[in-house]
Structure 1
């Protein structure tokens, strides 16, 4: 890795408290840019605007999506801004380059019926009682709170103490927020916590490490991974008779927000619950709802029927 990129990533981590996933994305994007520049016998220390635009043309011809190309350009711009501010370069060669924009695709939203089926199947999904209790709690909490998957799987065991009506969640940039729990979520959380405490007691008696996380990994030293939960929820969807391509942890987060909005919740309240920094990010759910209402009208309005 180029020294500039290493320094940039360190600054993102130390000064802006960037999440590990964000740092890994920057690293991947900038590594590709660095490799391409090396293939062109060009160095990022001295390349100019034309070189960067040629790289953007190249990744377009590779078939990369608008979102990916926009993200790559953003990473490059931030790298050169860092280099300029640190005095590593006297100019910012990417400053005036315009990105491709993002495709305005609305997220697919699971119906309330699909969510209900997923919750129902989760209660008996697993190879043993421990997995069944854990899986039921995971799905119920995710839909009840709209947490990001990383926020959910990394919850500490202490977060569930005292039969809480709200959970303290640590989100992006270590920002904390409170999310309320529905009665069904509280019941499943209490059941799982009782079982988790029993497992910890057994581990202590056997001289084994006790879990610190609410949803521990197999070795009980860490928590289950985002990838493991992603695979798990896909398997649940198949068992529930739902297209697994339409079910991800993030789509349950979309469902949480859209269903709240459809049932009269305030957009500002949804923004707080989701942990969005800007209301404009939350406003996509109004468009999702508008699209869904339009679809319902086209399907069910009597003037739209040929009969």
Structure 2
């Protein structure tokens, strides 16, 4: 059985048993096919061939984060082959990952976030008949209120707005469900968008809150990303620093800055492992320093 056939078998397993998204499957396919092309029949590769492939990634200019991701994919692939009895060993067992420092996520200040939300609200109020303005306002409000992944946001079911509740259930990675709260402003923006959406005949019958004439039937995340950058520019914020993912990080950072528990933030973000959420420990450290400086009896006090 050639490497490409076993790659397909692995991807089918990831889809059927792990609930991997289309984006994840496409990324895994690229990484495995790249290794298969360089090594030749990757399913039969040995440790040294894989080590040489990983070394070549650095030579080709891949960042340490990309190298680590590709190694993770290889490990999952060979664990699958071993578990299925297609190999009697796992050649990735002794491979070392690249050393890397975890970069702090880009985020926004609370003031910048308020300006962005205020701009979206102002434009929606000034153009109550403009579908694009109402939709963008709802998207931004819901994103900051919930910290959803952009793929989760654009594919929200229309029933989320129909119920008008303080919480709703979102289906995330691996088809895992989690409960997320919705702020009053986000609910209000969603109601305004839903009213306009319902009156538009082109959207009738769509199961999505943010429908579009796209392959998936919902608003492409790239379109939202472009609209968000334009909104940031109109709000006087550098568009280069803004993305849906940055707002997700702002949601988490601002919660922690204002006293939220790391475990609670983990649940809200839909992180399967607390280690993923620990990129925000710098926020907790800053909060603890302030706490000690403000309240410890021996801390330096301003005169």
Q: TM-score, normalised by structure 2?
A: 0.87
Aligned residues: 286
Give CA-to-partner distance per residue, 1:169-192, whole Å, 9 cap, x none.
111111111111111111111111
Matched, 1:228 2:229: no
Runs of 5+ in structure 1 lacking a partner?
A: 296-302
Counterpart of 1:269 in structure 2 is 264
Do the aligned partners of residues 28 and 292 (structure 1) sit closer, same or farther apart at CA in structure 2, a change above 3 Å counting?
farther
Q: Assess if the C-alpha contact under 8 Å between 1:210 and 1:220 holds in 2.
A: no
Q: Secondary structure at the match of 1:283?
A: helix
Match of residue 210 from structure 2: 215
Q: Which residue of 2 aligns with 1:188?
A: 189
Q: 1:32 aligns with which of 31, 34, 37?
A: 34
RMSD (Å) for aligned C-alpha atoms: 2.4
Question: How far apart, in 2, do the equivalents of 1:168 and 1:266 lie?
Answer: 21
**Alignment partner of 1:119 out of 109, 117, 120:** 117
- Structure 1 position 241, deviation (Å): 1.8
Q: 1:193 to 1:66 in 2, by over 3 A?
A: same
Quote how far apart the aligned CAs of 1:289 are. 4.8
1:61-210 to 2 correspondences below 5 Å: 61-123=59-121, 124=123, 129-199=130-200, 202-203=201-202, 210=205
Instruction: Measure, in 1, the Cα distance between the counterparts of 2:213 and 2:241.
Output: 28
Residues 1:292 and 1:250: Cα distance change in structure 2 (over 3 Å): farther
Q: Which residue of 2 aligns with 1:299?
A: none
Task: Determine the structure 1 residue equivalent to 2:58.
Answer: 60
- 1:243 aligned onto 2:245: no
- Rounded Cα–Cα distance in structure 1 between residues aligned with 2:47 and 2:275: 31
2:252 equivalent to 1:257: yes
Q: Does the aligned pair in 1 maintain the 2:169–2:177 contact within 8 Å?
A: yes
Structure 1 CA distance, aligned partners of 2:91 and 2:78? Answer: 7
Q: Which residue of 2 aligns with 1:300?
A: none
Deviations 1:134-173 (A, max 9, x none): 0000000000111111111000111211321112111111
Is the CA contact (8 Å cut-off) linking 2:169 and 2:178 kept in structure 1? yes
- Structure 2 spans left out of the alignment, 5+ residues: 291-299
Distance (Å, rounded) in 1 between the aligned partners of 2:43 and 2:214: 45
> For residues 220 and 161 of structure 1, what CA distance do their matches in structure 2 show?
24
Measured after TM superposition, the shift of residue 220 of structure 1 is 10
| Residue 281 of structure 1: aligned partner | 276
**CA–CA separation in structure 2 for the residues paired with 1:234 and 1:155:** 21
Offset of 1:266 from its aligned partner?
2.1
CA contact (8 A) 1:122 1:139 kept: yes
Tell me the alpha carbon deviations over residues 193-233 of structure 1, each in whole angstroms, 9 at most, x when there is no partner: 1111111xx34xxxx85322100113697100111111221
Aligned 8 A contact 1:163 1:186 in 2? yes
Secondary structure of 2:168's counterpart equals strand
Q: Is the 2:143–2:247 contact (alpha carbons within 8 Å) kept by the matching residues of 1?
A: yes
Secondary structure at the counterpart of residue 161 of structure 1: helix
Residues 80 and 235 of structure 1: CA distance in aligned 2, closer, same or farther (over 3 Å): same
Equivalent pair of 1:210/1:221 in contact (CA under 8 Å): no
> For the Cα contact (< 8 Å) 2:156–2:208, is it kept in 1?
yes
Would the alpha carbon gap of residues 217 and 143 (structure 1) be closer, same or farther in structure 2, given more than 3 Å must change?
A: same
